[in-house]
């Protein structure tokens, strides 16, 4: 679990959020409310993982 958190969190959460947002921008998805929702979800994951 510790190894997974150590090496997978950044690529999975930040990389995943970045790819998703680039895809959303390319596909014409509206900024509100989708971009802030993705941002908040990713930030919430970081905050929760700090407590693991």
Residues near another protein, by CB under 8 A: 2, 5-7, 9-10, 13-14, 17-18, 21-22, 24-26, 31, 35-36, 38-39, 42-43, 46-47, 49-50
Overall size of the chain counted in residues: 52
| DSSP state letters, 6-47 | HHHHIIIIIIHHHHHHHHHHHHT--HHHHHHHHHHHHHHHHH
Least distance from another protein to the Cβ atom of residue 1, Å: 11
Least distance from another protein to the Cβ atom of residue 34, Å: 10
Least distance from another protein to the Cβ atom of residue 14, Å: 6
């Amino acid at each position: 679990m510790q190894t997974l958190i150590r090496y997978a969190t950044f690529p999975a959460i930040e990389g995943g959020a970045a790819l998703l947002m680039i895809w959303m921008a390319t596909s014409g998805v509206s900024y509100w409310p989708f971009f802030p929702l993705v941002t908040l979800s990713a930030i919430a994951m970081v905050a929760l993982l700090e407590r693991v």
